[in-house]
């Protein structure tokens, strides 16, 4: 049966026509191009909504933020901590910006994440090393700045967990992959990996590597992972993501790839003059799915 458009906007959970989901717990096959009622493992299908009209609850919190900084050797890294406006503790999430740097549209994404009930640390690694936004070359030293942020985040009295989730977009996906694997933080401090349209390759690698291969660190990722892309993502980026995920699935890794039909690149931070309804549906669905995913994983590491 072909999928019908299913949108539960009030719950910020929406399936845009179809949502292609690839996950280790799904039936065999790299993609799920349409919904089949007989396939009980099609995760986006919601019987409670379809049959009984019930909408799931979503956490909404007023967000407060404070400007902070932390040290990585002699480098001082400016950052923002965003969290619900109360005195409770919440799970820890490190939000890593991408190639565009820390700007207003990205700041809003971090606020939307904190509003779901997390303590979010968002470091500005470009400002820390006086790098201009949208650099072409990748500065490997900045990876250490992100890694130091994990320790700072977990030291905060706000957090309720012994581990953090890594949450990122674009080039931030490569930063956090390196932190998890190269810095071995998945062994002691990181509980999951979430990324929107991540750059799954060393940005300094030659063009054939960018198009036809993915970063070898992806094969060493052991923590649960969730990745979001649009159907019309740039070809070279989409190919490396899908290839990396397929390799993870072949190794029985706990990874989920969600592809939003009809949606292009950067759907979460496209500005209002070019933003579409589909962008908003994908953004709302992704942050709700990510929050549920991270809350479940970080529950295992409660203090």
For 161, which DSSP code? E
**Could you report the per-residue pLDDT of 224-274, keeping only the tens digit for each?**
999 999 999 988 889 999 999 999 999 999 999 999 988 988 898 888 888
Check pLDDT > 90 for residue 184: yes
**What's the 3-state SS for 261-282?**
EEEECCCCCCCCCCCCHHHHHH
Helix axes 172-181, 141-155, angle to 10 degrees: 70
Check pLDDT > 80 for residue 279: yes
Q: Is residue 184 part of a domain?
A: yes
d(CA 155, CA 150): 9
Q: What is the pLDDT of residue 48?
A: 83
Check pLDDT > 70 for residue 43: no
How many domains does one find in the chain?
1
**Could you report the per-residue pLDDT of 46-92, keeping only the tens digit for each?**
788 888 888 777 899 999 999 999 999 999 999 999 999 999 999 99
Q: What is the pTM of this model?
A: 0.85
Q: Is residue 6 part of a domain?
A: no
- Kindly list the distances between the CA atom of residue 76 and the CA atoms of 31, 166, 178, 212, in Å, as whole numbers in the listed order: 43, 21, 20, 37
Q: What is the pLDDT of residue 52?
A: 84
Q: Is residue 10 part of a domain?
A: no
Mean pLDDT over the full length of the chain: 86
Domain housing 179: 61-301
Q: Is residue 66 part of a domain?
A: yes
CATH of the domain at 83: 3.40.50.1820
d(CA 28, CA 12): 29
Give the percent of the chain with pLDDT over 70. Answer: 85
């Amino acid at each position: 049966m072909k999928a019908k458009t299913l949108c539960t906007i009030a719950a910020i959970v929406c399936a845009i026509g179809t949502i292609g989901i690839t996950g280790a717990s799904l039936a065999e096959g790299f993609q799920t191009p349409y919904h089949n009622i007989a396939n009980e493992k099609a995760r986006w299908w919601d019987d409670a909504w379809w049959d009984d009209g019930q909408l799931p609850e979503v956490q909404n919190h007023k967000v407060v933020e404070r400007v902070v900084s932390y040290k990585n050797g002699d480098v001082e890294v400016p950052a923002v901590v965003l969290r619900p406006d109360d005195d409770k503790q919440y799970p820890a999430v490190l939000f890593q910006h991408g190639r565009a740097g820390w700007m207003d549209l990205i700041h809003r994404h971090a606020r939307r994440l904190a509003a779901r009930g997390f303590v979010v640390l968002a470091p500005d690694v470009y400002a820390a090393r006086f790098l201009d936004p949208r650099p072409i070359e990748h500065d490997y030293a900045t990876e250490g700045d992100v890694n130091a942020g994990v320790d700072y985040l977990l030291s905060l009295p706000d957090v309720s967990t012994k581990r953090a989730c890594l949450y990122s977009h674009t080039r931030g996906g490569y930063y956090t992959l390196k932190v998890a694997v190269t810095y071995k933080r998945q062994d002691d401090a990181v509980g999951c990996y979430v990324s929107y349209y991540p750059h799954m390759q060393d940005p300094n690698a030659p063009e054939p590597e960018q198009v036809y291969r993915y970063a070898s660190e992806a094969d060493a990722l052991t923590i649960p992972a969730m990745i979001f892309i649009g159907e019309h993502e740039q070809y070279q980026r989409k190919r490396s993501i899908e290839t990396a995920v397929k390799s993870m699935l072949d190794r029985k890794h706990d990874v989920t790839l969600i592809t939003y039909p009809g949606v292009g690149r950067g759907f979460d931070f496209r500005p209002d003059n070019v933003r579409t309804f589909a962008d908003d549906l994908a953004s709302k669905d992704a942050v709700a799915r990510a929050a549920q995913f991270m809350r479940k994983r970080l529950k295992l590491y409660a203090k």
